[in-house]
Structure 1
């Protein structure tokens, strides 16, 4: 069966399940964000400022495990099929949430988050599954649905986690475990394999590692290398929000898990609106280069607001202004794909994934350290917004580098 355009339709059942899997994963991750500071402070018997430093390394351990194991799970799925890897990942994620729910110490919490990072690396397998079942001409719009799933999960997860966490900080982990377990059982009965046996290849440790992706960075051309630098600086700048938002808002405003979750839900809703309604229109009106300039400019202004935001209303103003920073990454990716040859698009995306993972590994502990040094009774100078000053400098450097790399193709800068 084909559509009117002669292109085979995407199987709705498997696609819906994959989208649901991604949505459940993101919700499961978002559930724990509002309550993690409370659990870290309780297990470590430390104040919120010290908990931020510990929490930064917990986030880093999750990201590092995901960074290391994404190519491993991808290789396993090429060798044994997507279905067993996806089901095992869901089961592993459920187990990690159960461990956190009953964790008696910070050491156990670290182990559980590493396990969650390993199983969370299945996003590469989910992407591969979509590639298996989707005709090339439909892949862009199908992958766009993953972005919607991420936005919805980020909007719903923290809100649910904050609401449940206000009753008991451990309960969101039980909910996340239950969601992952139910999704695994549904997949066991309903998810078909997408990779036929004749398209599989033996597992090879030499291919299932990050070295290949890192090597691609040295092969990028001059202009692409500059844009990759812009991408890295920008992605590192936004880690100040991803890494310490829960801690700094609890410290500055005394927000409960519900208040933190509500603010992150606001972020998720804005992300859906910007990515779903504004990116395409902005690129059509301004071109990719000016759209990226606009996104970074608004993001930099938001960090200025966060730096001075001693009242919750200013924090929400910063979130509103900063939502326009969502224009940046899609525009940068369009600029880079335009400058890369057709046979190097996969290498480019692999290099960008490596850069993104590195910022997730480096950013949270860096910003958490800065926050811990400028807050609490032992602060060298009481300026709890100082992490955002670092983001201002990083985003400003990204803006400067991008403005020096104006494309010669008028279609990209108009």
Structure 2
């Protein structure tokens, strides 16, 4: 009996350490993303000597490069891990991630900064490997619980990343970049010692470039029913709209109110706290009581209300009114995703989630240059009208389009189309 129990204890401990490592991979990725947000405007202006309006344009293209690499290399990293195992791909990504942030900290020119952002975009595309690792080591009945660790890591990383970046930025513009690099290096060393390979040799498959194409995943949507297509289109426009916050907020706060890195970082941390509270707790209470569709409508109402405040705020305290109102837009994506998953049968769930993930990545590519161009147009010296909040007006247009697309899809769904009706369809069928 003792002989049987003793081998299982180390195995259980090893699985626990591996889960901790995967959690830290995602956490550090999000912290690295958040930690530089308060200080990136100052770094760009230092390198270029330009204005905040011009720096925002460069930031938009930097975000474009980062998201573009994630869009292209997410499927590649997943397929490489199917061929060579999860451990080497995760460790390689983490090591290069640390190098990328060190490059940003040392960057002597803007071109160097672009090169570093491309490196971090490629290696930050390791989320697919992290999900695969968790699936490898977790029984099917516990996967949802462990996948929740990834969502928790996103939330925690976005709370502490900007706050830490704002605090460190008080001591030097480049210090947060080296801090992000150091966190990645520490996690790399931890993984080198503690992380065990999760994919057995007999379960590996040859690497295929054809299967590593994000566009192939999106083509799968063509075979879905029209309810799913309306929902997917709504999510794309919603994702594009939501990107305005991480891309523009720091530049908007500096231009409109003269905020410091510390104030920006703490404000963004407050955004992260609200997102964690709504998506981690409130949604579990709200959706069962009022249904997904009403939750989505509340979310869009909050999003548009917050955007109106950002558009026209003339005093800084209004931003601290807009932030908690904006928390409730966290109801939108989980609710739409839940409805969309009901509209297809169980055999096509994986195909659907892969396709929508690629679409959302594509939205993250399109949004940043668009919003930063609007910011530049209305804040440069020759602007026709001085309006720092203009990007939030553009985001509101995308949000309204998303709401219209969702309304059409939900009307069809609640009227009886799709694989499974929502539980509140009987009371809401008249909307169709």
TM-score of the superposed pair, with normalisation by structure 2? 0.92
Paired position in structure 1 for 2:354? 350
- Is structure 2 residue 351 aligned with structure 1 residue 339? no
Paired position in structure 2 for 1:72? 76
Paired position in structure 1 for 2:400? 396
> Is the 8 Å Cα contact of residues 342 and 422 (structure 2) preserved in structure 1?
no
Aligned residues: CA RMSD:
1.6
Cα deviation for residue 211 of structure 1 reads 2.2
* From 150, 154, 160, the counterpart of 2:158: 154
Q: What is the aligned residue count?
A: 409
> Is the 8 Å Cα contact of residues 243 and 365 (structure 1) preserved in structure 2?
no
Measure, in 1, the Cα distance between the counterparts of 2:40 and 2:241. 22
Paired position in structure 2 for 1:307? 311
Cα deviation for residue 16 of structure 1 reads 1.4
Paired position in structure 1 for 2:418? none
Measure, in 2, the Cα distance between the counterparts of 1:190 and 1:231. 38
Q: Which has the higher mean CA deviation after the structures are superposed, 251-260 or 205-214?
A: 205-214
Measure, in 2, the Cα distance between the counterparts of 1:402 and 1:185. 46
Cα deviation for residue 412 of structure 1 reads 4.2
Paired position in structure 1 for 2:423? 411
> Is the 8 Å Cα contact of residues 68 and 121 (structure 2) preserved in structure 1?
yes
* From 56, 61, 71, the counterpart of 2:60: 56
Alignment of 1:38-187 (within 5 A): 38-187=42-191
Paired position in structure 2 for 1:360? 364
Structure 2: which 5+ runs fail to align?
A: 6-10, 415-420, 428-432
Paired position in structure 2 for 1:202? 206
Q: Which has the higher mean CA deviation after the structures are superposed, 110-119 or 283-292?
A: 283-292
* From 250, 261, 264, the counterpart of 1:260: 264
* From 16, 19, 30, the counterpart of 1:12: 16
Measure, in 2, the Cα distance between the counterparts of 1:349 and 1:401. 19
Paired position in structure 1 for 2:235? 231
Paired position in structure 2 for 1:5? none
Measure, in 2, the Cα distance between the counterparts of 1:55 and 1:339. 38
Cα deviation for residue 30 of structure 1 reads 1.1
Question: Per the alignment, in what secondary structure is the counterpart of residue 33 of structure 1?
Answer: coil
Cα deviation for residue 214 of structure 1 reads 2.1
Structure 1: which 5+ runs fail to align?
A: 3-7
Cα deviation for residue 217 of structure 1 reads 2.7
> Is the 8 Å Cα contact of residues 218 and 356 (structure 2) preserved in structure 1?
no
TM-score of the superposed pair, with normalisation by structure 1? 0.96
Measure, in 1, the Cα distance between the counterparts of 2:111 and 2:404. 42
> Is the 8 Å Cα contact of residues 79 and 208 (structure 2) preserved in structure 1?
yes
Cα deviation for residue 134 of structure 1 reads 1.2
> Is the 8 Å Cα contact of residues 96 and 115 (structure 1) preserved in structure 2?
yes
Alignment of 1:212-251 (within 5 A): 212-251=216-255
